[in-house]
Amino acid sequence: MTLPSSASKVLIVTGGSRGIGAAIARLAAQDGYAVCLSYLGNRQAADEVVAAITGQGGTALAVQANVAIEADVVRLFAEVDASLGRVTALVNNAGILERQARVDDMDAARIGRVLTTNVIGSFICAREAVRRMSTRHGGAGGAIVNLSSRAARLGSPGEYVDYAASKGAIDTFTVGLAKEVAAEGIRVNAVSPGIIYTSIHASGGDPDRVDRMKEGIPMKRGGTAEEVAKAVLWLLSDESSYTTGATIDVAGGR
C-alpha cells in the first residue's frame, strides 16, 4: 500500500486493534492520517479496524508486532517506511496489566512483563520515531503522544501497583523526551485516562470494574475510548502547536 503523493500525515498507533487504540486509529483516519496500527495477536480485530477505515476511503495498514521485542519494533517502523512513508506521528498506546494482586504476591516475572511492554516498548518505539522525525536526523518534525494513566498518581493499591509504576515511568519519560527533542521539531505529550470502558479490565480479572467504581468518580460514570481518542488527536494536531511535555487527564475528575 502506497500513500498518494499528496498525503503527508502518517501515524503509528501501537496496540491499535481494540479499545482506545482502535478509537485513535479510526479518528485519526477521519482527520486525514494514513494509519498503521500494530497488534499483538488478534489479527481479526486488527483487520476489522483496517476495514472500517478503508471502507470510508481512508488508508490503513495492520502490522503484527510485540513492542516488548526490539526487533519487532524495528520491523514495524521499516514496514511503515516501505508502505506508507516516513512516520510523522506516534501514539504509544500498547500496554498490558496482569491480574489484580498485592505487591507481596507479585513475582519478578510478572513485574518484568509489565515494565518491558509498558515502559521499554514505549522507549523503543519513540526512539524509532525520533530517528525519522527529528530535524537532527533530516526529518521534518512530528508529534508523539504517550498513553499514561491516572493510576500513575493514584497507585492502584491492592490491584495493579506494577502497572501504576509503569505509567509513572511514562509520565517522567514524556517530560524528559519532550525537552530533549523540542528544538528538533518534535512535540511529546501524554494523555492520562481514568476509568474507561475497555476490555483491559477483563485482562485484570475484573470485567465489571468500571461500573463497580463509577460512583467514586466525580462525574459518576466511566469514560469512553472515543473521549480519550479526541484528546490524543488534539495533541497530535497543529492546534496544540505550543504544547509539549504536558499531560491531559481524561478521567471525569478522578
CA dihedral 204, 206, 212, 214 (to 10 degrees): 30
Q: What pLDDT was estimated at residue 162? A: 98
C-alpha grid cell for residue 232? 490524543
Q: What pLDDT was estimated at residue 168? A: 98
Phi/psi of residue 58, nearest 5 degrees: -85, 175
Rounded Cα distance between 31 and 241, Å, is 16
Q: What pLDDT was estimated at residue 7? A: 54
Q: What pLDDT was estimated at residue 237? A: 98
Q: What pLDDT was estimated at residue 3? A: 43
pTM for this prediction = 0.94
Q: What pLDDT was estimated at residue 133? A: 98
Domain boundaries of the chain, sorted by first residue: 10-250
Residue given cell 497530535 in the structure block: 236
* CATH placement of domain 10-250: 3.40.50.720
CB 208 within 8 A of CB 199: no
Positions annotated as catalytic residues are 163
Q: What pLDDT was estimated at residue 191? A: 98
Question: Three-state SS across 229-251?
Answer: HHHHHHHHCHHHCCCCCCEEEEC
Q: What pLDDT was estimated at residue 51? A: 98
Q: What pLDDT was estimated at residue 197? A: 87
Per-residue pLDDT of the chain (254 residues; tens, 9 = 90+): 444 433 589 999 999 999 999 999 999 999 999 999 999 999 999 999 999 999 999 999 999 999 999 999 999 999 999 999 999 999 999 999 999 999 999 999 999 999 999 999 999 999 999 999 999 999 999 999 999 999 999 999 999 999 999 999 999 999 999 999 999 999 999 999 999 988 665 556 667 778 877 888 888 998 999 999 999 999 999 999 999 999 999 999 88
Rounded Cα distance between 25 and 15, Å, is 10
Q: What pLDDT was estimated at residue 97? A: 93
